[in-house]
Amino acid sequence: MHLPLLVLLLVGGRHHASATATAEGNDESDIIIISTFAKLPHKSFYSLQYSVEGCNNSTASASWVNLNGFLSGMNSTSYHSASSNNPNNVTCAEAAVCASLFDPTHLCPDMGTFVGEVSEETGDVMLDYMQFTDDYTHCSISGWYNNCYYEYESLDALTSNPDLLANSNPADLEAMKDFIYYVYYEDDICTEPASIWSSVDGEVVTVDIVSNYTEYSCAVRSACALDPNASICKAVRDGPGHNATFVSITEPDKSTGEQAVYVCDTSNAEVAQDECSVISPRDCIASSHIHGCHLRFFSGPTLAKYPRVLIGDMTGLPTADSDVSNRFDQESSASKAFSLVCHVLSLVGIISAITA
């Protein structure tokens, strides 16, 4: 298979939250990078982790637990704990937590680097890994995450068959409750996914602001969410100092029992304002970070139990009680701050247990 020459232009590492500051501007080289990337028919592809052999290729094996997104045609890096430190007595979701972290570089010591693209002939994901090119759209046992199986899928495959993300196993859903997925959309009713990225409950996330190049698709302008170090990100973003920082946490919704996502503005802490606002998976939000894109937030269990929410189908999704959904507003700022610290400590504990 011939991998595109685009890899010579677009290089970067997966999920580095802090990119190197460089002199950036709307110069000719940026335009070349953006226009070249925009011509790719598939801008991103995804690694899916499963707890059961079969990888959701049959209804009997609905066991998805994790998703990790990458940009086509460039050097990508996936982080994981050392094999010798990845115990067999953890679940797939616990072993694969490194794949959900927005910035795993400080907690996940090992990495694998590859270049991938989606085949126009088959729609399968082809990876150039360790100087060998192969088709990775088939279920295999994971060598990086114990007790996991994996396969790579295109975004088109996920949108045409959201059940690839299905799971109703209570043990898996419990292990997935700290995973948070952010889906950017091309349209203002959130039915046409452009890219998917993730973080973990309590993780501080810094995202680049992209306010220009609105003539290009959301899939192009949301590249920074998948790889902040990529050349395409550095070309489209407003600059290395133009970003926003927030924390997302997950808590059970008392009225529905579903795992809800709350977005917390860390800048409010010093002035004792309310930090956290509930984001319903039904909410289609105009992105304040990437102009022209819309956004939905899903907890891991919500996306697994109702995978068609990915394409805007809310069938079966409970409606939250408005009297309860804003319960964070009723808590003191001190209580919310304490809760957030507990979430961060819990996350560190999970990683420590895997890497110790």
Closest alpha carbon to 351 in 12, 78, 105: 105
21-58 residue pLDDT tens: 333 445 789 999 999 999 999 999 999 999 999 998 86
Q: Give the Å distances, CA to CA, from 280 to 165, 190, 296.
A: 19, 13, 8
**DSSP structural state of residue 308:** G
Among the listed ranges 24-38, 142-156, 186-200, 263-277, which one has the minimum average pLDDT value?
263-277
pLDDT (average), residues 113-123: 94
67-86 residue pLDDT tens: 999 999 988 989 887 654 56
Per the CB < 8 A criterion, the answer to whether 233 and 197 are in contact is no
What residues form DSSP beta bridges with 260?
251
209-222 residue pLDDT tens: 999 999 999 999 99
Structural element, H or E, at residue 116: strand 110-118
- pLDDT for 149 beyond 50: yes
CB-CB neighbours of 145 under 10 Å: 29
Closest alpha carbon to 37 in 202, 227, 204: 227
Q: Where do the structural domains in the chain lie, given as residue ranges?
A: 5-355
What residues form DSSP beta bridges with 70?
45
Residue 342's pLDDT band, with cuts at 50, 70 and 90, is: very low
Q: pTM of the predicted model, to two decimals? A: 0.83
Closest alpha carbon to 355 in 181, 101, 76: 101
Among the listed ranges 100-104, 265-269, 307-311, which one has the minimum average pLDDT value?
265-269
- Please, what is the average pLDDT of the chain? 81
Helices (H), 51-106: 92-95, 97-100
What local confidence, expressed as pLDDT, does residue 320 receive?
64
